[in-house]
Structure 1
Amino acid sequence: MTDYPRWQKSNLEQALTSRRAVVLTGPRQCGKTTLARKLVSGRNAYRTLDDLAVRQAAENDPHLFVEFAPAGATLIIDEVQKVPDLLPAIKKVVDQDNRPGQFLITGSANILNLPTVQESLAGRLGKIRLRPLSQGEIAGSNPLFLEQAFEQKFRRPTIKSNRNDLVEAIFQGGFPEALRMGGKVRRNWHIDYVDALIEHDLNDIANIRHTEVMKDLVRVLAAWSSKFMDISSIGSGLSADRRTLASYISALQAFYIVEAVPAWRKTDYDRLGKQSKLFMADTGMMTALLGWRPSDFIDDADKAGKAFETFVFCQLASEIDAAAESYYLYQYRDHDKREIDFLVERDDRNLLAIEVKSGITVKKTDFKHIVWFRENLVKKSTVTGIILYAGEEILPFGENLWAVPIDCMWAN
Structure 2
Amino acid sequence: MDNYRARVVDLLLADKLEAKGAVVIEGPKWCGKTTTATQVAKSILRMDEPNKRNTNIQMADIEPSQLLGGDTPRLIDEWQIAPKLWDAVRYEVDIRGEEGQFILTGSAVPVESEEIKHSGTGRFTWLTMRPMSLYESGESTGTVSLEKLFDSPNHIEGINKLDLEKLAFCICRGGWPAAIRMKEKAALSQAFDYYDAVVKSDINRADGVSKNSERVKRLMRSFARNQGAQLAYTTIKNDIIANDTETVNEYTVASYIDALKKIFVVEDMPAWNPNLRSKAAIRTSDTRYYTDPSIAVAALGIGPKDLLNDLNTMGLLFETMCVRDLRVYAESLGGSVYHYRDKTGLECDAVIHLRNGSYGLVEIKLGGDKLIEEGAKNLKKLADKIDTTKMKSASFLAIVVGLGDYAYRRKDGIYIVPIGCLKN
Counterpart in the other structure of 1:265: 273
Residues 24 and 106, structure 1, Cα contact 8 Å, conserved in 2: yes
Does the alignment pair 1:83 with 2:82?
yes
Tell me which moved more, 143-152 or 125-134: 143-152
Instruction: Give the Cα separation in 1 of the matches to 2:45 and 2:380.
Output: 54
Deviations 1:95-129 (A, max 9, x none): 33322122111011245996775542122101111
Counterpart in the other structure of 2:375: 366
- Structure 2 CA distance for partners of 1:184 and 1:348, relative to 1, 3 Å: same
- The counterpart of 1:402, out of the listed 408, 415, 420, is 415
Deviations 1:295-351 (A, max 9, x none): 33445342022111111101101111223xx32211111111111101112334332
Residues 40 and 73, structure 2, Cα contact 8 Å, conserved in 1: no
Tell me which moved more, 143-152 or 355-364: 143-152
- The counterpart of 2:238, out of the listed 236, 248, 254, is 236
Secondary structure of the 1:237 match is helix
- Structure 2 CA distance for partners of 1:70 and 1:223, relative to 1, 3 Å: same
TM-superposed deviation, 1:144: 6.7
Give the percent of matched residue pairs that are identical in Structure 1 and Structure 2: 25
Secondary structure of the 1:17 match is helix
- The counterpart of 1:344, out of the listed 349, 352, 355, is 352
Instruction: Give the Cα separation in 1 of the matches to 2:71 and 2:172.
Output: 45
Alignment of 1:12-411 (within 5 A): 12-40=13-41, 44-62=42-60, 64-70=63-69, 73-111=72-110, 117=116, 119-139=118-138, 145-153=145-153, 155-157=156-158, 160-181=161-182, 185-212=186-213, 213-238=215-240, 239-267=247-275, 269-323=279-333, 326-362=334-370, 363-380=372-389, 381-383=392-394, 384-389=396-401, 390-410=403-423
Secondary structure of the 1:236 match is helix
TM-score of the aligned structures, taking structure 2 as reference length:
0.86
Instruction: Give the Cα separation in 2 of the matches to 1:113 and 1:3.
Output: 34
Deviations 1:53-85 (A, max 9, x none): 433223213262334454663321101121112
Aligned residue type for 2:285: Q
Instruction: Give the Cα separation in 2 of the matches to 1:144 and 1:364.
Output: 21
Residues 141 and 422, structure 2, Cα contact 8 Å, conserved in 1: no
TM-superposed deviation, 1:245: 1.4
- Structure 2 CA distance for partners of 1:187 and 1:370, relative to 1, 3 Å: same
- Structure 2 CA distance for partners of 1:34 and 1:395, relative to 1, 3 Å: closer
Secondary structure of the 2:289 match is strand
Residues 143 and 421, structure 2, Cα contact 8 Å, conserved in 1: no
Instruction: Give the Cα separation in 2 of the matches to 1:186 and 1:240.
Output: 35
TM-score of the aligned structures, taking structure 1 as reference length:
0.89
Residues 116 and 205, structure 1, Cα contact 8 Å, conserved in 2: no
Secondary structure of the 2:282 match is coil
Tell me which moved more, 309-318 or 352-361: 352-361
Instruction: Give the Cα separation in 2 of the matches to 1:292 and 1:308.
Output: 14
Secondary structure of the 1:5 match is coil
The Cα RMSD (Å) is 2.7
Secondary structure of the 2:274 match is coil
5+ residue gaps, structure 1: none
